[in-house]
Amino acid sequence: MSELSFKDKVVIVTGAGGGIGREYALAFAKRGAKVVVNDLGGSHTGEGKSSKAADKVVDEIKAAGGIAAANYDSVEFGDKIVETALNNFGRIDIVINNAGILRDVSFAKMTDKDWDLVYTVHCKGAYKLTRAAWNHMRDNKFGRIIMTSSAAGLYGNFGQANYGSMKMALVGLSNTLAQEGKGRNIHCNTISPIAASRLTESVMPPEILDQLKPEYIVPLVLYLCHEDTTETGSVFEVGAGWVSKVRLQRSAGAYMKDITAEKVKENWPTIENFEVNPAYPTSAADSVSGIINAANSGKSSGPVLHRKPSTTAAA
Ligand code: NAI
């Protein structure tokens, strides 16, 4: 199989001064892309800044014969990162929203600062950068965008109410951008990675971390960002050399004429039964029409409704 090339594509990778982001930057550059290496260079809790992290990766890329430019702005100033891409390389093709921080604390002890900082980096940052790149992608009729979520968002995790909220918000952003971008060949997908980095080194034992090399995240992202790839609006879990697609599943549900709390109680086993005819809505319209169809057919055919499963996967 021929190598997936990114020759002359312009890629922005946020948080590319270390961890998984650095691996993306090196890999895209190795495959011919011109890379904007963005990194604020602060601590893993979002304090301080330094140009060193981004500079080091740019030097590495250049030493290997690649093309890269550094940007030291916080992702919340995404327009400045896009400016770096345009000033250096004249266009923007691919955006990897990867920068991240943690402010883990139980919800009982969470402060506004813990919430706001995590919001600013993950949620606002991905919004600002993607928004600044979006119309250039529309004009070029080409764009590939990656959002970085987390198992803490998809499934929840103790001590990560702030982080989990923002990571799930990115799934919602990605789902909508996938729909709005479709007509202009702009694809947006979300990954939920697991990798050894400064964010995970204190929470996992070394023998597990050894299996979670950050470079194992890169191949999926390269594939998703390639011009030949049509995948969009999807969520993937990735780590340790394993890749899996995730989607929402809806039970067939129950229609209850003159619905009451008691009828909900009575029908609970049916409402939460995923075994019989589950559905996989792929858009809000799909979801709503499924509900209306289910209610209408329930009115004519009895209390328990089944909807034909959709074959397309959804986030
Ligand atoms: P990391 O801490 O090694 O890398 C994150 C990079 O983002 C750092 O170099 C940091 O300086 C940069 N950064 C932080 N705030 C920034 C800002 N405001 N503007 C620009 N750059 C900023 O962490 P890692 O593990 O490589 O994480 C990458 C992404 O993957 C993050 O979004 C993280 O939440 C996500 N993630 C990582 C997991 C893991 O297992 N490592 C698990 C789930 C999600």
Q: What is the pLDDT of residues 121-152, one digit of tens each?
A: 999 999 999 999 999 999 999 999 999 999 99
Q: Do 22 and 146 reside in the same domain of the chain?
A: yes
Q: Do 208 and 261 reside in the same domain of the chain?
A: no
Measured from the Cα of 212, ligand 1's closest atom is 40
**pLDDT for res 301:** 55
pLDDT at residue 25 tops 80: yes
Of the residues 221, 246, 271, the one at which a domain ends: 246
Of the residues 203, 231, 246, the one at which a domain ends: 246
**What residues contact 20, with CB distance under 8 A and at least 6 apart?**
98, 193, 195, 197, 214, 217, 218
Cβ burial of 119 (10 Å; 0-12, 13-18, 19+) is middle
- Give the pLDDT mean for 40-46: 96
**pLDDT for res 308:** 44
Nearest CA to ligand 1 atom 12: 15
Q: Is 280 an active-site residue?
A: no
Task: Enter the pTM of the model.
Answer: 0.94
Give the DSSP H/E element, type plus range, for residue 168.
helix 161-181
Task: Identify the band that residue 239 occupies on the pLDDT scale cut at 50, 70 and 90.
Answer: very high
Q: Do 113 and 176 reside in the same domain of the chain?
A: yes
In a domain, 50, yes or no: yes
**pLDDT for res 305:** 41
Q: Do 110 and 218 reside in the same domain of the chain?
A: yes
**pLDDT for res 203:** 83
Between the CA of 49 and the centroid of ligand 1 the distance, in Å, is: 14
**Long-range CB contact pairs, 104-112, < 8 A, 24+:** 104/159, 104/160, 104/163, 105/159, 106/158, 106/159, 107/161, 110/161, 110/162
Say how far apart CA 209 and CA 206 lie, in whole Å. 5
**pLDDT for res 310:** 43
Between the CA of 22 and the centroid of ligand 1 the distance, in Å, is: 10
In a domain, 56, yes or no: yes
In a domain, 5, yes or no: no
Measured from the Cα of 99, ligand 1's closest atom is 7
**Token pair 């858009």 in the structure block, residue:** 283
Least confident of 80-89, 147-156, 201-210, 228-237: 201-210
In a domain, 73, yes or no: yes
pLDDT at residue 300 tops 70: no
In a domain, 305, yes or no: yes
Q: Do 190 and 268 reside in the same domain of the chain?
A: no
In a domain, 4, yes or no: no
Q: Do 263 and 240 reside in the same domain of the chain?
A: no
The percent of residues in the chain predicted with pLDDT above 70, rounded, is 95
Three-class secondary structure of residue 47 per DSSP: coil
Between the CA of 291 and the centroid of ligand 1 the distance, in Å, is: 39
Q: What is the CB-side half-sphere exposure of residue 274 using CA atoms within 13 A?
A: 4
Q: Do 201 and 263 reside in the same domain of the chain?
A: no
- Give the pLDDT mean for 94-113: 98
Look at the chain and report how many structural domains it folds into: 2
We report the CATH number of the domain holding residue 219 as 3.40.50.720
Query: For ligand 1, which residues put their CB under 6 angstroms from it?
Result: 14-15, 17-21, 38-42, 44, 46, 53, 74-75, 98-101, 121, 125, 148, 150, 193-195, 197-200
The chain-wide mean pLDDT, for the chain, equals 94
- Give the pLDDT mean for 18-30: 98
**pLDDT for res 312:** 41
Of the residues 246, 261, 294, the one at which a domain ends: 246
Candidate list 24, 72, 163, 255, residue with the active-site label: 163
Number of H helices, E strands in the chain: 12, 8
**pLDDT for res 298:** 77
Nearest CA to ligand 1 atom 1: 19
Task: Identify the band that residue 307 occupies on the pLDDT scale cut at 50, 70 and 90.
Answer: very low
In a domain, 166, yes or no: yes
Between the CA of 257 and the centroid of ligand 1 the distance, in Å, is: 50
pLDDT at residue 315 tops 80: no
Three-class secondary structure of residue 279 per DSSP: strand
Out of 101, 147, 203, 236, mutate this one to test ligand 1's pocket (max ligand atoms within 8 Å of CB): namely: 101
Among residues 60, 13, 11, 21, the alpha carbon closest in space to that of 44 is found at 21
Q: Do 235 and 290 reside in the same domain of the chain?
A: no
Task: Identify the band that residue 304 occupies on the pLDDT scale cut at 50, 70 and 90.
Answer: very low
Q: Do 240 and 274 reside in the same domain of the chain?
A: no
Q: Do 238 and 295 reside in the same domain of the chain?
A: no
We report the CATH number of the domain holding residue 275 as 1.10.287
Q: State ipTM.
A: 0.99
Between the CA of 55 and the centroid of ligand 1 the distance, in Å, is: 17
pLDDT at residue 302 tops 90: no
Say how far apart CA 243 and CA 5 lie, in whole Å. 21
Q: Do 241 and 252 reside in the same domain of the chain?
A: no
Domain with 171 in it = 10-246
Q: Do 84 and 180 reside in the same domain of the chain?
A: yes
Between the CA of 156 and the centroid of ligand 1 the distance, in Å, is: 18
In a domain, 240, yes or no: yes
Out of 13, 36, 39, 119, mutate this one to test ligand 1's pocket (max ligand atoms within 8 Å of CB): namely: 39
Task: Report pLDDT digits (tens) over 270-298.
Answer: 999 999 999 999 999 999 998 898 888 87
Give the DSSP H/E element, type plus range, for residue 221.
helix 218-225
Alpha carbon of 148 to those of 218, 255, 281, 285: distances in Å? 12, 37, 22, 25
Task: Identify the band that residue 309 occupies on the pLDDT scale cut at 50, 70 and 90.
Answer: very low
